[in-house]
Amino acid sequence: MFSSISKLSPQEAEQQIQRETVKVIDVRSREEVRQGKIPQAVNIPLDELAERMEELDTSEQYVMVCRSGNRSAKAAKYLQKNGYDVKNMTGGMMKWQGDIEA
**Distance from chain centroid for Cα 64:** 2
Cα separation, 102 vs 87, in Å, equals 24
- 66 noted as active-site residue: yes
Distances (CA, A) of 94 to 79, 85, 100: 23, 24, 12
Q: Which of 13, 65, 66, 79 is catalytic?
A: 66
Q: Give the angle 86-26-10 at the CA atoms, nearest 5°.
A: 70
Please list the residues that pair with 101 across neighbouring strands: 37
Catalytic site positions: 66
